[in-house]
Amino acid sequence: MKIDYHTHHERCGHAKGSLRDMIEAAVALGLDQIGLADHSPFFHREEDRPVPDMTMAKSEFPRYVAEMARLREEYKGRIDVRLGVESDYIPGWAEAYGRIYADYPLDYIIGSVHYVDGIHVFSRRRWQQGNTDPEETYAGYLRLLHEAVRSRQYDIMGHIDAVKGVCPHPVRVLWEETVGIIAESDAAVEINTSGLRKPCQAWFPSLKLIELLIWRNVPLTFGSDAHDPEQLAYDWEHVVTALRELGVRELAAFRRRRRTMVPLPSRMI
């Protein structure tokens, strides 16, 4: 099956196209499943939309879910639309967010760490500060990732080594502990190809980290992290080829927060 579980649209304020545009692009590409998983509102903030260029408004979330559900019915028989959300891990708030999501018919939740010490993980501002210590930054990111995984609020962990995205420094990080924590949580991990569009020019996670995840039997899924319909299924063929060479034959899929495994396509490249 050909799937993509990590996509965004115009509601979040920094992506292009509508939900319908993304689904139409998925149909044109021959996807079997398309997951719609835009950035969750910041429910922990009092304002309706405190960061307009990063997340949708709290008041918009019910309309977002309702539109996904309508489109799922409209496109039934043409493509399988799955309802999701990408949720920022906010220390101390994971369970509260989970209670909010429980009121909606979501198929899956992607948990991602986007902020370390108040700075977005893909912001160059962090690295333009002369006193930034890469080792400390990576360690801080991993502490938050561990907390997110241990909260058990997420079905998929998103771009788990995103901290490397714009880091100009080579940093040695031992991932065995992190992979062990993920394996114990039973969460899946996405292979997120958006890193190819960033300075690191690599998948999230790296191939070596993917090998560690496979060794610990962590379920994998695919997400292009598309912020434009043209980015949908980005580098899918190379991911399929790499996974098959590593012995992977299935990817994780989700419906109503329950995971199933779907067959990986045969070798494509």
% of the chain at pLDDT higher than 90: 93
Domains and CATH numbers, the chain: 3-263 (3.20.20.140)
CA dist., res. 211 & res. 243, Å (int) = 9
Tell me the pTM: 0.97
Q: State the Cα torsion 69-70-76-82 to the nearest 10°.
A: -20
CA dist., res. 204 & res. 186, Å (int) = 19
pLDDT digit string (tens) for 119-154? 999 999 998 887 889 999 999 999 999 999 999 999
For residue 148, what are its two tokens? 């997110």
| CA of residue 60 relative to chain centroid, distance | 20
Confidence of residue 217 (pLDDT cuts 50, 70, 90): very high
Q: What integer is the mean pLDDT of 50-60?
A: 97
Q: Is the pLDDT of residue 168 over 90?
A: no
Find out whether 251 and 222 touch, Cβ atoms under 8 Å. yes
